[in-house]
A and B are shown apart, each in its own frame.
Chain A
Amino acid sequence: MKKIYKKHSTLLFICAAVIASTFSACKNYLDVQPQGQITQEQIANDPIQAKNLVTGIYNVFYIGGFEPDIDSFQFVIMTDIASDDADKGSEPLDYGDALQIDNLTTSSTNGVVNNVWTGHYQGIARANQALDKLDAAQFDAATKNALIGEAKFLRAYFYFNLVRLYGGVPLLDKLPLASEANQDKYQTRATVDEIYKFIIADLDFAAANLPDKGNTDVGRATKTAAQALEAKVYLYMKDYQKAYDLSNAVITSGKYSLVNDYSLIWRQKAVNGDGGNNNNESIFEIQAGINKSCTAGINLYTVSQGPRAGGKRGWADLGFGFNNPSQSLLNEYEPNDVRQAATVLTIQPNGTVLFDGFRIPSRDSVQNDRYSYKAYHSRTAEDNCGGNTDRLPKQVRILRYADILLINAEAAIQIGNPGAASTALTAVRARAKLAPVAPTLLNVWHERRVEMAEEHDRFFDIIRQDAVQPGRAAAAFAAHGKTWVPRAALFPIPQTQIDLSGGRLKQNPGY
């Protein structure tokens, strides 16, 4: 008996040892590294990744569609459809949020208004994230400052859109820590002046540190791009001298010239060396391409504005049919202005053949009378990603030389230099096969409208002009068949964002 107990106690000991060894051997058992993920720490310690973070900011241009948006469909709604240049399009009741904006009845709960807000802050967050990691990255000073310059250029562009759409907005100059995010500093609106001051500081740095066009990758921000954007910013700030000086710097840099054939500006491929992507006129443009996963284009930019089947249908259509050039825009074109046909895709009763040979069958097979030709991307003559049309590689031209010439002309008039204004204005008109006109403010504004139609600039321009010559907006919308309401000069701060700030974000007047 005693022996048995002894045997058992041995056993107990062995079993205890088994369990104890399980325990001790498993001390680090729970320290499991995440699988298949790159952590923030790994990125922070890798200079190549710091550089890739800057490329990652450019990638934000591809967001959009019905989600957060920077330069895609919803930005088009807030800049073109909102203006007198375009009607909403598509079927009459399709997309209520867009209809509100078209009718100047935008409510603070409008989804488009919120998505464009959040989209731009996504861009700003990416820029701030890159700036944060670049700060510690080991590069030579020139490389590092150029990368910082790119991030600041892009951040300035995002704020420039925000300040024009919403007025003063929360100013994030860095990544707030989780513990800081709720501070008043981030949850309240900075003033319009503070935002502009911040934009100018970013662009000053960018202009001073970015390489010249030709000394960097095509598509990256350049010194002249920073100057061009800054000239435009100064125009909005009514600092005409600086707008003139900077636009002049871009013009005299000699790096840009007008494309001969206006219609070729928005083509992917140059024709006899004229036009195409990144053409001589392009100062800053969103780059796109065909990667294997078809993710390298702006989501829904082209397809949302493509011709839509209606009535008889019976054909494979090209899009959702939004953003139709308005009658008011057609009325603005002078006879023989080549820009009208290049801008407005008009559906003829018996069909329209596009530049690539595609034939839209007939008016009664299509939903709307007109579509934007500048947003069109050929399914046959230009690069496509299989049948995937959501992210067609359309490269949206953000800043082009004609815009700078017209900024230069307007600034020149304002500072009393009609000679310079005339030169710039005449250059733009000559390309459109039109005779010179007197360098007056109204002529420049007319020229801006037809030159820049459907390029997501018009709404901002009306508001800007109205601030220079009150009544411009009311007149423009009256001609467009709509009644101007002063509150529409700024879009509402999205109600969701006001709620999330606990009411600290204050609404714009009139909403």
Chain B
Amino acid sequence: MKRISTHLGLMLLFFFFVNTAIAQNVAVKGKVTDAATGESLIGVSVGEKGTANGVQTDVNGTYSISVPANATLTFSYIGYSAQALPVNGQTTLNVQLRAEANELKQVVVIGYGTQRKRDVTGSVASVNGDQLAKQPVQTPTQALQGKVAGVQVLSSGQPNAAPILRIRGTGSVLAGANPLYVVDGVLTDDIRNINNADIVSLDVLKDASAAIYGVRGANGVVIITTKKGKSGPAVVSYDANVGFREIASQIQLANRQQYVDYLNVASPGKIATDDKSPLTIPGTTNWADVVSRKGFYTNHNISVAGGGDKSTYFISANYYDEDGVIKTNNFQRFSLRANNDVKISDKLRFSDQLSLTRGAERAVDIGAIYGNVYRAAPIIPSIVNGLYGNTSAWGNVGNPLLQLDKANNFTLNNRVQGNVAVDYNPVKWLTFHSAFNLDARFNNQKNYGYLFNNDGSTFTVGGGNQRQPNSTLFVQNDNSYQYQWDNTVTFDRTFNQHHFTILGGIVTEKARSNFINGSRIDVPADPNQWFLDLGNPDLNAVDKNNGSLFTRQSFIGRVNYDYAGKYLVTGSIRRDGSSKFSQKYATFYTVGAGWVISEEDFIKGGIFDQLKLRGSYGELGNDNIDPSLFIVTGLPYQPYYFNNGTLANGTIIQDIKNTNLKWETTRQLDIGLDFAFLNSRLSGEVDYYNKKVNNALTYVTLPGILGDPDNRYITNAASYQNKGIEFALRWRDNINEHLSYNVGANISYNKNTITGLNGGQALNAGGANSQTITRTDNGQPIASYYVLNAIGVFQNQAEVDAAPTYDVGEAKHVGGLKYADTNGDGKVDANDRIYAGSYQPKYFGGFNFGVNYYSFDLSADFYGNWGNKIYNGKKNSRGNANDNIEASYANSRFTPTNPSSTNPDVISQSTPPSTYFIESGAFLRLNNLTLGYTVPTNMLKRTGISKFRVYLTSQNLFTAKRYSGSSPELFNTDILTSGIDATNYPVTRTFAFGVNVQF
């Protein structure tokens, strides 16, 4: 603390070095319009060249600025070519700005600075905030789906689920494969607090240029920049949309008759010997329908932006409320943002970007609910006159509706995220920047389980094992704060044709988290009494409290050099220190070069408006592991009893740890070509990359003799490779002043391979019946399916007799699956398993188009992937002979009268994983379709409204797929089982109506 205050004191010294300029001025007025359409442009920056003096155009496109008579005015506007005009004593200057088609001139955020896109040597993709905000989704990354080549996004229909991002393939199994997020300079792993409407741009660092984030950049970096105010009158915006979500593709389970028919084969004794009373209850229960509903959602944003000469502001508020499509599931978010900029003097600037979010979520345990929905018997009613159907008394799973109704899991998250920063420019080419970033979270969780018994008070009939004989309460408060202090110096200077930008800096980071929780039983059911004090203090009473702390210290440096805008060189280095490892420091770097061929005389003026060849190579790291993984620790207070009831406390030391654990290292090569021709109507880029991960963390199974409880430990023993090609193409054109359109497409090819296990072992992961389904082994993609090869169904006894013997848990029989004896040893067993693809797509991409015709706008975004496989785990998850089956299987399975050659007669717990359960994961989806109407400006005169747009939008209107399950998009955060469709939250379809109003 003393150190920080000293530093702040030093920073305050800057205030003493403030200079101001005074001059003789004239007032210049004018209007700025679009050169093509003649439309007024609002918010154009009008500045006096060479000074900080500037204003913005108002809602009518007009401005007024006081400048010296001999000044030059600059006009700049995002998406338009800037212009500079001398005043020459005039008092009116009307200006027409030409839309900037050349995307290479965009500014991109590259970490601790920005760069013109044309000068970038790495692979950086940018997406405008508008593109994200127009979609009715909670998180910006979900809206990113299909927009950027090389970025695969997997989202869930579950409210408040953070989408999974894979930038250029899966690069880690245990240290997390998600990218780093940087929100206005704050490094974080969770951006669910960000209001999409607040985002001005989202930039993705895909290649080694992420090395400026060192040990955290290996999976790529997503940089989010939020809006700022502009000098000028206050602009009030109100955006809202309301709508509903429904299950996009409901699973179809067998009905009563199909189920009973199946049971007669799968569990022959069941119908004969069991209590038949359930069979007398008429009707079919569709359990998937019973637990689901249409979920209404609403999203309101209001923002005020503006500013004067010396300061700007952007203030926004957001309310988001979404009902999940599973009953009882709900999420609400309320967020506030204040981004301010104050020019204390021409040289000193103070800014802040702060957001406050409160999220309230009632969660559902989708794994448990859906695990039972797939299996529950359709002959049992869900609920009758307030009494639940007793599925477990029928020897079946628990009633999923009862499960939902008897649990209340509520979490409140409060989060403060943002920074305050000081920028000091002693001279124009030198910037000192000091930013104090904070990300603090305060969470409060309460899970209550209601008491119910397996008797007539809860169920229509008593019995079974579904009961909760004691009510349960779990309460947790946890908080975490992470601060990060960035101090950088940027030198930006041009000497003749040589332009240098040099960055140096120190980043200090500290993250602390704590939790305290307790659980009790026998707490009363009244929510006002859901406190630990009201539970039984003597039984099942557990209190826990612990925490973690880690620090990082990094030194960063970067040089960007260009010669005449033609030859570009970039180099960056980051020396990262992390308290997570015994060997604390590591160095990461990148080097990049670019050649803007279109600037060469021999090509200039030709068909290319832009042609740039670029390449980068660098090393990045991944330290995203638990801080204590390398420290051998003991567990105190392991109970034992002596003297007939006296508790004794044992201590054990038994976890084997690798005390030399270190970060994962990624080396990445990227070669790319950016191009634009036909007057920049056609533009695009192509990239090739090769990304190798070494020292990847993996589990290594330990011999049992070492006594490790789970017989494995984490160590650096694997290497992976992702290589691929990305291709993006955009076309935009104005047919006339009323009709313009744009079309874009991107496609990525990625090949993921495990290149070495350096003493590590193949990792097996399983599904429902703890069988191995995926295997992560040398030469294969991560989490490849490793199963028996099913080659048909036995049609008759002669086929059965002729087949090799079975040692797979299942007996060979007529109607059963036929497996290939791959190794030809006359026996079908675990040694006959084959690799059968993985969930990682070979190709993925999106295409989109937009049309503006008079006041109407229409846009459509498609997203799809190809070349991946899904393991239909829910088909294979029969834990019990009384489980229900899918309707499609019920209709197509082998029966003596319908001898199917593909579908077996029965799928039971002993049916081994095989290619029978593997299906194509290819799909194409209309991700978003939006139709908007903007009320023409002349109709809004005198209303005080400058813009009024209404729109209809639909997310996931349709999906073309080959997969027989409900959705080919699987949201599974566990990398090793990511392709096993077991108990995913249903994917949703959204219909919404919205308005955008600006005052």
Which residues of A line the B interface, CB within 8 A?
A: 7-8, 11-12, 14-15, 17-19, 21-23, 25-26, 29-40, 42-43, 49, 52-60, 62-63, 68, 91, 93, 96, 107, 109, 114, 117-118, 121-126, 128-129, 170, 172, 176, 178, 181, 186-187, 217-220, 277-278, 287-296, 309-317, 364, 385-388, 494, 496-497, 500-501
Contacts and interface: CB of A to CB of B under 8 A. Distances in A.
B562 to A, nearest CB: 25
A342 B670 CA distance: 76
Contact of A129 (B7, B470, B652, B659): B652
B705 A316 contact: no
B830 to A, nearest CB: 7
Nearest to A314: B463
A19 B506 contact: yes
B276 to A, nearest CB: 10
Contacts of A496: 701, 704
Interface string B535-564: 011111110011111111100000000000
B633 A314 contact: no
A34 B10 contact: no
A30 B549 contact: no
A308 to B, nearest CB: 10
A386 B643 contact: no
Interface string B630-643: 01111110111111
A181 B703 contact: yes
A59 B652 contact: yes
A39 B631 contact: yes
27 contacts: A7-B426, A8-B427, A12-B426, A19-B489, A19-B506, A22-B3, A22-B487, A22-B508, A32-B551, A34-B633, A43-B653, A55-B638, A56-B652, A59-B652, A60-B652, A68-B704, A96-B910, A125-B706, A187-B705, A219-B642, A288-B641, A293-B540, A296-B647, A314-B462, A314-B463, A386-B469, A387-B469
B651 A294 contact: no
Which of A117, A125, A128 is packed against the most chain B CB atoms within 10 Å?
A125
Given A181-B703, A217-B643, A287-B640, A292 B540 contact: yes
A35 B510 CA distance: 14
Interface stretch (B82-90, B577-585, B941-949): B577-585
Given A21-B6, A114-B704, A122-B654, A386 B536 contact: yes
B634 A38 contact: yes
A309 B882 CA distance: 14
B465 interface: yes
Which of A68, A107, A291 is packed against the most chain B CB atoms within 10 Å?
A291
Interface of B: 3, 6-7, 10-11, 13-14, 17, 273-275, 393-395, 424, 426-427, 432, 434, 454, 461-465, 467-470, 485, 487, 489, 505-506, 508, 521-522, 536-542, 545-553, 577-579, 584, 627-628, 631-636, 638-654, 656, 659, 701-709, 711, 807, 809, 830, 881, 908-910
Contacts of A364: 273
B553 A30 contact: yes
A499 to B, nearest CB: 8
Given A34-B631, A40-B653, A387-B468, 16 more contacts: A12-B426, A21-B10, A35-B549, A40-B634, A49-B634, A55-B651, A68-B709, A121-B705, A122-B707, A181-B706, A186-B703, A217-B646, A277-B644, A291-B639, A313-B463, A386-B469
Nearest to B711: A118
A356 B648 CA distance: 29
Contact of A43 (B639, B649, B651, B809): B651
B129 to A, nearest CB: 34
A117 B706 CA distance: 11
Contacts of A38: 633-636, 651
B640 A59 contact: yes
A8 B426 contact: yes
Given A15-B489, A29-B553, A22 B643 contact: no
B454 A118 contact: no
A128 B705 CA distance: 11
A187 B703 contact: yes
Which of B7, B705, B809 is packed against the most chain A CB atoms within 10 Å?
B705
Contacts of A56: 638, 640, 650-652
A126 B709 CA distance: 11
B704 A34 contact: no
Contacts of B705: 121, 124, 170, 172, 181, 186-187, 497
A102 B161 CA distance: 46
B884 to A, nearest CB: 18
B61 to A, nearest CB: 40
A217 to B, nearest CB: 4
Contacts of A311: 273-275
B506 to A, nearest CB: 5
B703 A30 contact: no
A314 B275 contact: yes
A289 B553 contact: no
A73 B188 CA distance: 45
Contacts of B552: 30
A310 B703 CA distance: 40
A84 B454 CA distance: 37
B328 to A, nearest CB: 23
B654 A386 contact: no
Contacts of A26: 3, 508, 553
Which of B426, B489, B522, B807 is packed against the most chain A CB atoms within 10 Å?
B426
A310 B273 CA distance: 10
A53 to B, nearest CB: 5
Nearest to A393: B641
Which of A58, A220, A288 is packed against the most chain B CB atoms within 10 Å?
A58
Nearest to A115: B704
B654 A129 contact: yes
Contacts of B393: 313-314
Contacts of B470: 386-387
Nearest to B637: A52
A124 B654 CA distance: 11
A21 B7 contact: yes
Contacts of A220: 642
Contacts of B489: 15, 19
Contact of A52 (B6, B468, B636, B646): B636
Contacts of A181: 703, 705-706
A307 to B, nearest CB: 12
A49 to B, nearest CB: 5
B650 A55 contact: yes
B463 A309 contact: yes
Given A31-B579, A122-B709, A291-B647, A22 B7 contact: yes
Nearest to A23: B506
B541 A39 contact: no
Contacts of A18: 7, 10-11, 434, 487
Contacts of B485: 22
A58 B650 contact: yes
Contact of A59 (B465, B639, B707, B908): B639
A423 B943 CA distance: 112
A40 B655 CA distance: 11
B546 A36 contact: yes
A356 to B, nearest CB: 17
A312 B395 CA distance: 9
Contacts of A35: 546-549
Contact of B632 (A40, A52, A387): A40
A48 to B, nearest CB: 9
A218 B706 contact: no
Nearest to B2: A25
A417 to B, nearest CB: 37
A364 B656 CA distance: 49
B540 A294 contact: yes
A54 B542 CA distance: 24
A500 B761 CA distance: 9
B540 A218 contact: no
A107 B808 CA distance: 12
A93 B908 CA distance: 10
Contact of B633 (A23, A39, A58, A118): A39
